[in-house]
Structure 1
Amino acid sequence: MAILVLEPAPVPARATELRPGGRRPDDMVADATACLALAAEAPVQEMGDEALGTVIAGLAQLESRAAALRMSLSTEADQRRVSGRTAETGTDAWLARLTGTTRGQAAGALRIARLLTEKYTTTRAAFAAGELRLEQVKVIVHAAEQAPAEATTAQIAQAEQWLVAQATGTGTRTGQGIDATRLRHTARRMFARIDHDLADRHEAILLGRETRSAEAETFLALHDNGNGTFSGKFLISELHGHLLTQALDRLTSPRRLCRDRSGQVVVDETAPGTGYGANIYETHGAALCELIEHLPTTGWPGHAGNGCEVIVKLDLDALRTGIGVAGLDTGVVLTAGEARRLACSAGIIPAVLDGPSMPLDLGRSRRLHNRSQRRSYALIHDTCAIAGCTRPFAWCEIHHHRIPWSRGGPTDLDNGLPLCGHHHRRVHDTHFDLRPRPDGEWTFHRRT
C-alpha cells in the first residue's frame, strides 16, 4: 500500500512544475487539494502506527502553511481593494463570504495577516514553514503588540525571535515546542533577557489588560432543567479559575491508594477507578456540590450578620424511615434521605414536623451534635474518620453511625463519627458497609 507522507522531502515527481514561477499559485493549490482528496480516500486502517504519526504531524505543518498562504493572499487582496470590485463593504466581508467564516473572524485574521507582513517577519517565516500553529502566532503577535512604548524596534524583534524559538522548540532545553497556553504565560516575560525593567513593565501591561478583560467578561448563567438538575456555564478570571480548581482538587474523592495514621497503604474502595464508576467530571461535580453545601454561614451581606442558612422541612415519619419527601425554604423538594444527610451540615436548620404540621424540633439541639461535642471529636479526629481520607475535620459532618437518629439513636459522643461529604454519601449507599478497625479508623467494604 502506498502511503502519502506530508513532509518537505521527498518532493513530488512534478517538482519542476510546483516551483514558484513554474506554475500559477491557483494551479498549485488545486494540485494540493487533489492530493489531499486522494489521501482522504486511502485505507487508513492498514497504516502502521509510525505512519499514522508521521502523516498527522505532516498535516499539522500543512495546515500552518495553508493558513500562512491564505493570510498572505488576504493581505494582497486588501491592498488591491478587491472587495470594492464586488461591491462588498470591506475585505473582511469579502473573506467571510469566500471562507464561510463570520465577518468578525475574518477581520481578526486579516489584522494578524497585516501585522505579520508589516512587522513580525520572524513569526511569518516560521508560520509559512509550518513550524508554528495559528494559535501560537496569535499569542506572539498579541504579546509583541502590547510592548511598552519605550521598547525599541530592535528590542521587540529580539524578543519576538526568542518567543518564536520557544514556540518551535529550537530555544528550549528539550527541543520540544510549547503550546499556545504555556506560550501565553511565557510571553509575559519575553523581554526578560533584554531588559529586566522593560520585562516588568510589559508583564504589568499584559496582566492588567487580562485582568480588566476577565472582569468585564465574567458571568454565570444557571438554568433549572425542571428534572431535578441545574445546568449552566460560566467564565471567570484565570486567578479565580485556579482557586476553584484547587478547591475542587482538594475535595475530590480520596486517592485510590492512600495511607492511614500508621503510614500503611490502604485502598479506598469508594474512590473512582476502584469499581465505584465515577469519572473526573462526576467527581468534580460532587466536589462542587460539597463546596456549596459548606459555604460560610456567617458574615454574609444582607443577612444582618446572621449568616446564610437554609431550613429543611420534613415530617417526623419521613425523618425516621427515610421514605417520603422534604422541602427547603427556597421551594425545592428533595428526598427525605437527602434531607437527613443535609441536616448534618452547617448552615442547615432541620425543621421536624409532627402529623398536624406542628414543629417538634427546630434547630440543632436534638438532631445535631452541638459545638462542644464537635470540639470533643476534633480532639480525636484531625480529618475524616475513614482511613486515608485527608479532608479536614472542619468539613466533616457528624454521622450517627451505631444507631441512626431516625431509629432513636442518641446524639452523643459514642454514637457519632466525623465523615466528609463523599464518605457520608457512601454510608447511605447500599453498595458498601462501614466497618471499624482496631486503630480507631474506619474502612468501607463492598457488599457481595
Structure 2
Amino acid sequence: MHPATRRRSPPASALPSPRCCLIPSKGRDRIMARAPRSPSAEPAGTSFPAWRTARRIIGHEQAIGTLHAAAASGRMPHAWLFAGPQGVGKASLACAWARSLLARQATAMGAQEGKGTADFSLAAEHDSGPGLFDDEKVTPPSRSEGGQEDEDFFALSADHPVFRQVAAGSHPDLLILDPEEMSAGEGGRARATRQIRVEDVRRIHRFYAHTASSEGWRITLIDEAEAMNLSAANALLKILEEPPARGLLILVSHQPGRLLPTIRSRCRTLVFQPLTLSDMHDFLAEEAPECDAPTRDAAARLAEGAPGRALNLLRNDGLTLYRELLGLLADENVASGLQARARFIEQVAGDPERHRLVLDLWRDLHARLVRFAVSPPAGKEEGPLPEEAVLLERWCCRSSPDEWIERWERTGRLIEQAERLYLDRKQVLWTLFAEDGLPGVEPHRS
C-alpha cells in the first residue's frame, strides 16, 4: 500500500475553509462557502469565489477578440474549451462572458432594465446584428488595441440582478460544475474525492431539458474539466454529439491533454497564455502595493505568468513557505534535517490552504528542475529566488535528466492523487521529502 494511505472520507479540516478572497482570477485562494439560492437571501458578509465576481482581467485580448467575433457573427459554436495554466484568468473570463450573455438576453426580453431593447440576435441564426457588449456590431480587437472592448466583458454592475445571481450560482439559465465546490458535498457531507462524477454531468441533461427563462441561452460552465472521471466524460460526449438548441457549454481546463480527444475535437479551443513578466509587475504593483518591489518580483517569477497565483503567494505568505522548503531540501544533516522537516510538516499539514500551496510550489520546483537539467541556461539566468538556483545546480549534478524527468512524473502523480483523493497530508509530505533524497528515509517506489 502506498505510504500516503487514502482516507475513506476527508475530515472537516481537509476541506477549504470559508474565507474572503479578492483575487480577480481563478487562483487557489478562494471561498468555498455554499452560496445562497437567492440574491435577496444573502446573509451579511456572504462572499463568493473570486472568479465569479471578477471585474477585470489582465491581458488575453486575442481570446476576448475571438469571443466578440463569434458573438457578432450570429453563428456561435455550441461548445468552447478555455485551456491554459492555472491562475491566468480562464474561469474569470468564462464567467464574465456568460454573465454578459445572460444580462443582454434578459434586457432584450424585457426581463431586466438595461440599455435599449434591440433584438438579441446572438441567440438566433442571423449573419448580422448587434454585438455582445455594444449596440453596434463589434469586430475583434487586436492585441495592440484591447482597451474598451475588453472592459465590456466586465461592464455589468455588481448590483445588477444577473451579476448577483451568477455570483451566488442561482441564475436559472446558468449551471456551474466546480469540483472543488462539489467536494464539500450536499448537506455538509464531504465527498471522498474531487472528481466530477457521471451524476454531476447528468445534471446537464436535466438542465438543458428545460426551456430557458428568457428564451435565450442556457449556459453550462465546467471548471477543472479534467477532473471528470471516464464515465462523466463519456456522458458529456453524448451531449456534445447532440448539442441542444440554444445550449452553450464552456469547459475550463488547466490540463486539456487529460480530456478525451473526442471531447477536445468537438469544442472551439481558446488557448490562454501566461502574462509577461512586465505585465505581472504592473498588475502586482496595483493589486499589492503594500509589498515591496523585490517581494512582488519574486512572486511574479514564481507564479510564471499567472496573476491569481502571484496574489495567492503574497496573501498567504507563500514566499516564506518556499524559502523554508528550499532550506529543508538543502539540509543534508540527518538528525537536524529530520527534526526540522517534522516541524515543517506539522505546521503545514494542519492548514489545508498552506498544504495546497506547498504542493503547488513543490510541483513547480520539479518542473523548473527538469527544464534546468534538460537545457541548462547558457548564461546567468535569474530565477525566482537565489536559494532555488543554488539547489537546482546542486541537484542537477547528482542525477541524469532522464532520472529527474521520471522523478518529476512521480511527484506530479502523487500531488494529483493528494488533491483528488484526499490522501493523508502528513504522509504526502514525508513521501515527497523521501522522493527528493531525504537522508535516512527510503523513497517509495510503485
Normalising by structure 2, report the TM-score. Answer: 0.27
Higher relative contact order (CA 8 A, sep 6+): 2
Normalising by structure 1, report the TM-score. Answer: 0.27
> Which one has the bigger strand percentage?
1
